Structures are given as C-alpha cells and as structure tokens.
Amino acid sequence: MKEGKVYLVGAGPGDPGLITVKAAECLRRADVVVYDHLADEQLLELASPGAERIYAGKTATEHAREQDEINQLLVTRAKEGKTVVRLKGGDPFVLGRGGEEAEALAKNGIPFEIVPGISSAIAVPAYAGIPVTHRGVASSFAVITGHEDPGKESSSINWHKLATGVDTLVFLMGMQNLPKIRAQLVEHGRPADTPVAVIKEGTKPEQRTITGTLGNIVAKVKEAGLSAPAIIVVGEVVKLRDKIRWFDNRPLFGKRVLVTRARHQASVLSRLLAERGAEPIELPSIEIRPVDDTSELDRAVLNLGSYHWLLFTSVNGVDAFFNRLGKLGLDARAFCGINIGAIGSATAEALETRGIRADYVPEVFTSDGIIAGLKSYDVKGKRFLLPRADIADKELVQGLTGLGAEVREIASYRTVPAKDTASRVKELLQAGQIDVITFTSSSTVSRLMAALGKPKPDLGGTVITCIGPKTAQTAAGYGLKVDILAKEHTIPGLVTAIEEYFSKQK
C-alpha cells in the first residue's frame, strides 16, 4: 500500500481565482478533500470526479465536525494510503487552526506539507480598495482574532498596547464582538473618530463594505443589516477607499448572469462577465455531441475537391469538421482550391488556429448577413458544403439556393439538452438569484425552455439578452421579452451590450 500524505492547503479568501498554482496541483492529485465553510466550492471541481469530498466547515452557530474529529479524520485517511488535501479558507496558519492539525499529523507520524494561501486579512481589504499599509499613512498592521477561544480564562490580547501601537488593525471573525472591539479600542486610547470599514463576503461578487468611525460603526452596521462573516479594518488607511476603490464599482458588479451555452464554450463569456464584476452562473442548456453516424460527413471530407465553397456557421462546426479531418488522416492541405467562409469573427478565429484564413466573413454575423455579402460574389452554379448542427434552420440554405448556388448541408454535430439544468435554474429563478439570462444561439433558447417545461417559469425582472436577431426571434417565439440585443453578434459584443444596458439603468 502506498504511503499516505496530507497537504494543509490555503484556499484563499473567497475568489476562486486567488488560489495558488501549487494548491490547484494538490487538489488535482487528491484522493480525499476535507474542506471548510469558507473555501469556495468551485475549487472542489479541480479535484478528480472520483475524489472523496468531506465537508468539515464551522460557522459561529454550527460545527459540521469538531476539531478533534477533523484531526483524526486526516490521520485515518492518510493511514489508508490516501493523498489528503485539507482545504482551509485563507491561509492555514493565519487564525485557521492549521497549526493544531499539523501537530496532530506530526504526533501520528503522518507526512504532511503546508501550502500557504492568500490570507483574507490582506486580500479582503485590498478588494475593498483599502491597503493595509501605505507610505505616510500606515507603516504597520496587525491581524487579530475577533473571536478568541471561549475556553480561555482571560483574553490574551494586550488591548492597551494594541490600540495605539499599530497603525492598521485587521480583525478576523469579529462581527459578533464588534461592540466589544470598538469599546476596548476607545477605552485604551484609540480616538473615536478613527476610520473603520466592515467588509462582508470579501473578494466575492456579494461583497459589501460599510465605512464609518469607531464612534458610529456599530450603529451603521446594524442599520445596514450586515452579518457574519466579515472583516473589520481599523485605521487611517480606510480613507483611501474613496480614491482606489476598484472591485465593487465595476459596471456589472453584483449582477448574477446565467450562462446557457455549452459548458466547454462558456469560459470566454464567463471570464468577460467576471472581469466586469458580474457573477457568471454556468448552467448550460445544451451539450454538444458528435453525430452518431459520421459516414456522410466523412464522404464530404474526402471529396472536398468537388466543392467550390466550404461555409462554417459556428465554432462547433469547425471543431467537428477538423476532428473528422484528423481521424481520416488529412490536414489543412485538403482545403486547397476551396473558398472558405465563416459566419463571424469567432468562427474565423477558430479556423485561423488551425492554419486556415477565411476568404469571406460577412459584415453582419448572421445568415442574412452571409447572403447579403455573397450577392457580390459569383456563386450561381457553385457548390457549397455546410457542415452544421443537426437542428440548424433552413434560412441559410434557402438564401444560398436563391442566389443560384447548389447546397449540401450535413449534420456535423448534435445539440442535445444538458442534464440537471432545469431544476437548478427554476430554483435560482424562484429565489430571485438570477439578474440576467444570456442566450448565444437559438438552440440555447429552445433547449432551456423545453427543459423548464410548462407552465413557463415566472422570470420576474430577469433581463433577457440575445447575441443576435435570430436568437432574439426564437426567444420571442417562446413569449420572452428580449431586453438586450447585441449590436455586434459576438461574445464580446454581447457583454458590451449588457454593460451598456446597466450603465443606462444607473
């Protein structure tokens, strides 16, 4: 049996993008992941599907497992020869009880490593636009627990020296004790007009920041209804937030956007949304699958020389076509002498990555745009090959035929409903947790509506966004009111349209 090992891993402050490279590598190798309440669950997706996942979180009112039980769990799984990742919010050794877990492992002779994480003590203030130090303002900072061990006979915090001896004070887990913290600092010499910030859900799309002074912060937090978990920052650096606030003033901050396109394609849209402050929720309404029978597609690939034009209408079509090209032992040389068309810039880029530059890309990235542009070409009598989705409409075929072209349309991939989407979308819609639904093709509309079933769900104030007129037409056919139609029918164009919409709302 192989020797087990435990990695005490810092998950970072909440934003899953702040996990370290080494931490991600540990998760990918893990047989067992024991994770905390404050560790973002998206990080669990880095572990293999077969890895055991064990929740060991603690909140102020509930402990899934006591600390002694967690320590023993790590020892037991390691003795079974497992690679164990103990995923802890922030950094394992910054008020995270990682030291106690390391002691237990050492006592039992279990090999272990410490993988530091970005502590919320510095990351959360940074995301609120508050540097813990700043030349001329603060040359020192301290990190203090706001919730000491209740078993202690007396506090180990030296309030007399702490209150005035350090420029910036950062309290973790201190929301319940905010009135006491405030009282201790003022009693021991910190002026009542000292700036204070209380930051909830730091580094996440739900982040909220309340600022005030030691004199009024308790009342302001109560008025705002702020609750744990939150971080308290005390010091003159809080004033800098007005100048360098950057995270929670982005154009789409706090908006929850449903991404319905196929999961393998969702990353670009999700990234662009996140960069603008939105929270992308990836619940694809479709999955892209190969066709069951590739014989017709293979014959077309092997006889490319008999066509004058090869026209791609999606990135998926490019992927499917080149997959069969490779399976048949061919490469880009097979395109010699053929005109290549792409419906839009994304499809053209997909071709370029494979060494093919499109001869034709319409100015308007739609079927109508393709037809309008081809009117200036001599296509009468020319043979066109269209490798497309199995559910593609006939508009493009009819338009090309109307220009006198001969068209052969072949299903190169299938679009099928994604599993387990409907129930989760219904749940989020009913809870009012989706602000925007994005549709990037007609199939994403039809598949999602079919999955949701009848009666049509109440979308309330949810904003409906479509990438182009064809998609919008499909949405309207289902009785959906389209609020946003992208001017440029691309993913960046879609995100820009959403941004412009909400900027006008403000």
- What is the side-by-side strand order in the sheet with 279-282? 279-282, 256-259, 436-439, 463-466, 484-485
| Domain limits, the chain | 5-117, 122-244, 256-285+419-505, 289-416
How far apart are alpha carbons 70 and 74 in whole angstroms? 6
Distance of CA 293 to the CA centre of its chain: 35
Look up residue 482 and give its two tokens: 């389209």
8 Å CB contact between 447 and 286: yes
* CA gyration radius, the chain: 28
Characterise 334 by phi-psi region: left (phi > 0), alpha (psi -120 to 50), beta (else): alpha
Catalytic residue, candidates 36, 91, 167, 248:
36
Residue 36 bears catalytic tag: yes
Q: Cis bond leading into 229, ω under 30°?
A: yes
**Strand ranges of the sheet holding 52-55, from the earlier edge strand across to the other edge:** 52-55, 32-35, 83-88, 5-10, 112-115
3-class DSSP assignment, residue 388: strand
Extract the tokens encoding 243. Answer: 């100048």
Decide if domain 5-117 falls under CATH 3.40.1010.10: yes
pLDDT of residue 149: 62
Answer yes or no: same fold for 122-244 and 256-285+419-505.
no
pLDDT at 389: 87
- DSSP reduced 3-state for 47: coil
What is the DSSP secondary-structure string of 154-203?
S----HHHHHHH-SEEEEES-GGGHHHHHHHHHHTT--TT-EEEEEESTT
First to last CA, the chain: 62
CATH 3.40.50.620 fits 256-285+419-505, yes or no: no
> Which residues, other chains included, contact 371 with Cβ-Cβ below 8 Å and sequence gap of 6+?
396, 399, 400, 402, 403
Considering 58, 79, 239, 426, which one is annotated as catalytic?
A: 58
pTM over 0.95: no
Q: Which of 419, 432, 485, 484 is nearest to 462 (CA)?
A: 432
As given in the structure block, the two tokens for residue 32 are: 């067992």
Q: Identify whether 58 is a catalytic site residue.
A: yes
Q: Pick the catalytic residue from 82, 167, 173, 200.
A: 173
Instruction: Indicate the class that CATH gives domain 289-416.
Output: alpha beta
What architecture (CATH level 2) is domain 122-244?
A: 2-Layer Sandwich (3.30)
Residue 253 one-letter amino acid: F
- Residue 303 main-chain phi, psi, to 5 deg: -120, 35
Q: What's the average pLDDT block by block, 10 residues per block, for the chain (506 residues)?
A: 90 93 96 86 88 82 80 96 95 94 97 97 97 96 84 78 96 94 96 98 93 98 93 98 95 91 70 91 79 91 93 92 92 90 92 93 88 92 92 87 94 79 78 90 84 70 92 91 93 95 86
The pLDDT value given to residue 502: 94
pLDDT at residue number 431: 81
Query: Are 406 and 385 spatial neighbours (Cβ–Cβ below 8 Å)?
Result: no
